[in-house]
Structure formats: C-alpha cells, structure tokens
Amino acid sequence: MERPRIRARAPLRISFAGGGTDVPPFPAAEGGCVLSATIDRYAYGSLVPRTDRMVTIESVDFKSTAEMRLDEEILCDGSLDLIKAAVRRFGREGTDGYDLVLRSNAPPGSGLGSSSTMMVALTGLLATHHGRVLDDYQTARLAHAIEREDLGITGGMQDQYAATFGGFNFIEFSEQVIVNPLRIKDEIAHELELSLLLCFTGITRDSARVIEDQTRRTRASSGDTLAGLRAQKELAVAMKAALLTGALQEFGELLGEAWTQKKRMSPLISNPRIDELYEIAHNHGALGGKITGAGGGGYILLFCDFTKKHRVIEALEFAGAVITEFAFDTKGLTTWRA
C-alpha cells in the first residue's frame, strides 16, 4: 500500500520598504512596519511517513542529506540545523519516522527570505504530520521561534509572516505582530507586475552578518542607523498609500528613496557591484529600486516604466547580471495530501 504523502508550498517575498525595522531591538523600542508582497517563487516540501523511527532529510538547495533516529537525541551540529531544529521542536513522541525532501526556487542568501520561507513550509509539513492545527499567526510565530530562539540565528520577523499569510501585507511589529492584508485592485497589481523586475547580483551572502552589524549600531544608538530605520517606517506608510491609490510613479520614486535610507543602516548593505548595477539600471530608465533583503548581495528589485523596461534588462544582462520577471502570489502557506 502506497504511503500517503504530505506536501507544502510557501511563497517567497519581496520587501518594498521597512526592512530592518522588524529586527530587535528596534521594534520593542520604537515599533516597526514593513510593506511586502509574495511572488510566484516558492519553498517546497514533501514528507513521506515511514514505518520505523528513522528520519531522513534531503535538502536540494544545499545538495546535502542527513538522517537521524527519533529514539536518540537530535543534535544540531552545523549540517541542516534548521531542519533538525524543526524536527526536534515538534517532538519525537507519538510518531514514526518520515522522509523529508525540501527545495526552493531561489538560492539561500538571495534576499527573498528563502530560509525563513523554507521554515514556514517545513512547519506546515510537520504540523500536518503531527495532527496539530495551527492558524496563520501560530504558524508564523512557531517558524520564527525555531529559527531565532532555538538556533539563535540573527534576523527579523517579517519573512515568516509574509510567507505564511501571502499576498500584499502591511505588517506592524511591536510587542506583537499584526498583519494587515491590503486589498490591491487587480489593475494596480497587474501594472505593478509589468513595472518590476529582479536583478540577481551574482552574490549570495550571509544575511546574519549584515543584520548583526545593523543591530550593533542600533544598540549603540548610531545616528545614521536610527535615522535610516525611522525613515524606513515613514516610507513604508507612504508606499502603502501610493500602492492602494495606484500612484505607481510615486511608488517607484519612493522605492529608490527606500534604498537611499536603507544604506544608512549599515555600510555592509551595499558594495561596488550592487552600486554598479543600480547605476546602470537608473541610467537606462529605472525609476527606483532597492536590495530585497538584508543587503550585501542577492536580488535588486527595480521599478521601470514598461516602455523602458527592455532597455534596462538589456543593459543589465550586458553587465553580466541575471534578470527575471515574476508575478504576485496571493496565497500563503499551502499544505495538502497526495
């Protein structure tokens, strides 16, 4: 008899403004907010139950495998620790083993929240397998706790909530996280899709290093860092209004301002290659743009008038960058049985 399979899919996100204001200690001190949307790039997972107490893991992204026995202590030893920590958090009681296969549409370190999105997909898989019914807030909080508390990985809170809820969201961070779904008219979303593109810098990076520098500067009350974070909050609010009303020319200009302010938060956020590609895009018609994640590499999100977009793409490809277009995804975490 064929064993029932559990599948999960969670969408990656692009962040328009507010990134960094979700990273402690800033939210507790001043409150943070992020404007983001999920796109048609995903973290995928598959779980097949076993009849013994073994758990096998295959990470396609890291080209790595691992196995463990549920009758033994699960140790996080530097190999696939995110996955092992999730298995450990859900516990070893009342379950036989299972085979996990995980992969995503974006490389780790891409700036699209791939690691946290994978944790959301994995949380959905394991919750379904263990018969735990979690709402969206519980799922996002649990995925965040495994990554930030159990493993102590430095980072913010936006990615887990964006991937779980899906769609366009204005997310607020203080003592609690509040996700405000935005009702974007179809014609505005379609026009925004036509106006945006992703430019891969060719650099993958460890976001924790950038975030640790930003956090250190925030704790030290660095004037530039705090000014950049406060400006990010204001820009997230302004860009939300521009998006809801369809003022996309203004939205594109504010995206560029969000990049200017983001660079104030840490000198590690940009580098000569990012600056070069941004300048090329701007010189060929891009109205604005910014790095999609913590910085230091990954993808640059660019806003261009559709009639000039092809020129921007040609110039960036000539410079050696990889360009991709995308569509928005309005659904968050999805799990099903196959």
pLDDT of amino acid 137: 98
Known active-site residue 159? yes
Cα 177 to the chain's mean position, in Å? 16
Q: Output the CATH code of domain 186-324.
A: 3.30.70.890
Residue 131, number of CB atoms within 10 A of its CB: 8
Q: What is the pLDDT of residues 110-140, one digit of tens each?
A: 888 899 999 999 999 999 999 999 999 999 9
pLDDT of amino acid 145: 96
Q: What is the pLDDT of residues 77-109, one digit of tens each?
A: 888 999 999 999 998 888 899 999 999 988 777
Residue 302 and residue 283 in contact, taking contact as beta carbons nearer than 8 Å: no
Q: What is the pLDDT of residues 245-271, one digit of tens each?
A: 999 999 999 999 999 998 988 888 889
| Termini Cα distance of the chain | 14
Q: What are phi and psi of 120, to 5 degrees?
A: -65, -45
CA distances (Å), 176 to each of 34, 113, 117, in order?
A: 14, 21, 20
Q: What's the rounded mean pLDDT across residues 6-29?
A: 94
Residue 53 and residue 99 in contact, taking contact as beta carbons nearer than 8 Å: no
Indicate the average pLDDT of the chain. Answer: 92
pTM of the entire predicted model? 0.94
Q: What are phi and psi of 94, to 5 degrees?
A: 70, 20
pLDDT of amino acid 175: 86
Catalytic choice (159, 213, 305, 329): 159
Residues in the chain: 338
Preceding peptide of 107 cis, ω within 30°: no
pLDDT at 18 over 80: yes
Q: Which CATH architecture has domain 6-183?
A: 2-Layer Sandwich (3.30)
Instruction: Give dist(CA 79, CA 81) in Å, integer.
Output: 5
pLDDT of amino acid 49: 94
Instruction: Give dist(CA 41, CA 298) in Å, integer.
Output: 15
Q: What is the pLDDT of residues 268-294, one digit of tens each?
A: 888 999 999 999 999 999 999 999 887
> How do the domains of the chain map onto residue ranges?
6-183, 186-324
Q: Reduced to 3 states, what is the DSSP secondary structure of residue 336? A: strand
